[in-house]
Amino acid sequence: MISKAKLQQLGRTHGTPLFVVDHDELRRNYREFRKYLPRVQVYFAVKANPLPEIVRTLYKEGASFDVASMPEFKIVYDNIRGMPARQRQEWIWDKIIYANPNKPVETLEELNQYKPLVTFDNAEELLKIKEHAPQAGVVLRLKVLNTGAMVELSSKFGADPGEAVDLILMADKLGLTCEGLSFHVGSQTTNFDNYVQALGLCASLFKEARDRGYTKMNLVDIGGGFPAPYDESVRPFRELAKVINQELGRLFPKDIQVLAEPGRFLVANAAYTVSKVIGKAVRDGKPSYYINDGVYHSYSGIIFDHCKYPVRAFKKGATRISAVYGPTCDALDVVSMAENLPELDRDDLVYSEKIGAYSHASSTNFNGFPPAKVVHVNV
């Protein structure tokens, strides 16, 4: 946790808008995940925050990686470039999953040389993989309940359970090995029962596949969705881990490998923003502040991630409900219509916490404003 005083000092030293990443917190999150889910191999979902320094820290901790595009693959690959070829290949097979169920042909052709594990959720994709990345191992992504998640993913991804074993057998017929099953219960899930249901479904599909003669599945990938502690309403990770451990122990023999792809959980509380008041006004009687970061930049998660990031002042004083706007000319660029803030002046700094996931990652250059400068601490 970075203190308020330190954040303010960083803002003054480096200028704003600033995006501050605390690598101690990244390590703490990774170790907490490992501690409470010891059976699970942790594949950091790079999309949540693809800064190479973050990938590097998690690499050094021993993490594995979920990538969803060739540029993400390369960010991870940069860490193993120097390994002897054979060791590198083993590392890729053991520690990278390309977990985007729909891949462009060009990507498959480039990926093929690395013989990676890739996900799929339909017959078209299988044919594409067979033609353009025949050396890949495949994992079938299932459609599962996303009820109670902040970000719902199941409308776009996942095979219907009823067609799952047909797809597994089709892969086998094509000469591709289906290594196992994966799912995603929806991001920032508050409903732990989603994992219970999804694991039950996987166990029954393992059995159906075995009954129909397919015995090569050896892994279950429980995806992401692990909730970050944004506020007190979020139940502790150890409670969710207890539920998952119980189901894993009950449903899957020890020789079934278990993977997870946490994104948000590892990075959300490891980053902060510091920005500056660049203008102020009173609109409809409400104090309104224009800051130099907004929803086209570090606060993009407000739009893309359905997330909120309270804006706080370093200054003390009696507070009033105030509006906070981003710097661009779009009226959509609203950080908040109701923040409790003291009277602020031009050049005052403000900050937000727990803004590490799906924020800087989807920052744009809209209106000519570049993404916030990044500073890494406790590297």
Which CB, 3 or 233, lies closer to ligand PLP? 233
Q: Would you count residue 326 as binding ligand PLP (CB under 6 A)? A: no
In the complex, least distance from residue 241 CB atom to ligand PLP, rounded to whole angstroms: 14
Q: Would you count residue 158 as binding ligand PLP (CB under 6 A)? A: no
In the complex, least distance from residue 88 CB atom to ligand PLP, rounded to whole angstroms: 23
Whether residue 329 lies in the annotated active site: yes
Stretch that binds ligand PLP, among 123-131, 171-179, 220-228, 369-377 (CB under 6 A): 220-228
Q: Which CB contacts under 8 angstroms, 24+ apart, belong to 127-130?
A: 127/174, 128/103, 129/103, 129/176, 130/174, 130/175, 130/176
- Closest CB to ligand PLP: residue number: 224
Q: Which two tokens stand for residue 63?
A: 């993490």
Q: Would you count residue 247 as binding ligand PLP (CB under 6 A)? A: no
| 344 class by beta-carbon count within 10 Å (0-12 exposed, 13-18 middle, 19+ buried) | buried
Of positions 17, 262, 301, 371, contacts ligand PLP by CB under 6 A: 262
Stretch that binds ligand PLP, among 129-137, 192-200, 260-268, 294-302 (CB under 6 A): 260-268
Which CB, 16 or 182, lies closer to ligand PLP? 182
In the complex, least distance from residue 119 CB atom to ligand PLP, rounded to whole angstroms: 7
Q: Which residues within the stretch 66-105 sit at the binding site for ligand PLP (CB under 6 A)?
A: 66, 99
Of positions 59, 192, 195, 226, contacts ligand PLP by CB under 6 A: 226
Q: Would you count residue 139 as binding ligand PLP (CB under 6 A)? A: no
Which CB, 164 or 344, lies closer to ligand PLP? 164
Q: Is the CB of residue 141 less than 8 Å from the CB of residue 120?
A: yes
Q: Would you count residue 180 as binding ligand PLP (CB under 6 A)? A: no
Which CB, 138 or 274, lies closer to ligand PLP? 138
Of positions 261, 333, 339, 353, contacts ligand PLP by CB under 6 A: 261
Which CB, 243 or 375, lies closer to ligand PLP? 243
Of positions 223, 294, 301, 326, contacts ligand PLP by CB under 6 A: 223
Q: Would you count residue 120 as binding ligand PLP (CB under 6 A)? A: no
Of positions 116, 180, 225, 326, contacts ligand PLP by CB under 6 A: 225
Q: Which two tokens stand for residue 243?
A: 């539920």
Q: CA angle, corner 65, sides to 86 and 17, nearest 5?
A: 130
Number of residues that bind ligand PLP (CB under 6 A): 16
Give the C-alpha separation, 260 to 221, whole Å.
5
In the complex, least distance from residue 12 CB atom to ligand PLP, rounded to whole angstroms: 32
Q: Would you count residue 184 as binding ligand PLP (CB under 6 A)? A: yes
In the complex, least distance from residue 225 CB atom to ligand PLP, rounded to whole angstroms: 5
SS (H, E, C) the chain: CCCHHHHHHHHHHHCCCEEEEEHHHHHHHHHHHHHHCCCEEEEEEHHHCCCHHHHHHHHHHCCEEEECCHHHHHHHHCCCCCCCHHHHHHHHHHHEEECCCCCCHHHHHHHHHHCCEEEECCHHHHHHHHHHCCCCEEEEEECCCCCCEEECCCCCCCECHHHHHHHHHHHHHHCCCEEEEECCCCEEECCCHHHHHHHHHHHHHHHHHHHCCCCCCCEEECCCCCCCCCCCCCCCHHHHHHHHHHHHHHHCCCCCEEEECCCHHHHHHHEEEEEEEEEEEEECCEEEEEECCCCCCHHHHHHHCCCCCCCEECCCCCEEEEEEECCCCCCCCEEEEEEEEECCCCCCEEEECCCCCCCHHHCCCHHHCCCCEEEEECC
Q: Would you count residue 42 as binding ligand PLP (CB under 6 A)? A: no
Of positions 7, 18, 45, 341, contacts ligand PLP by CB under 6 A: 45
Which CB, 89 or 197, lies closer to ligand PLP? 197
Catalytic residue numbers read 329
Residues that bind ligand PLP (CB under 6 A): 45, 48, 66, 99, 153, 184, 187, 223-226, 261-265
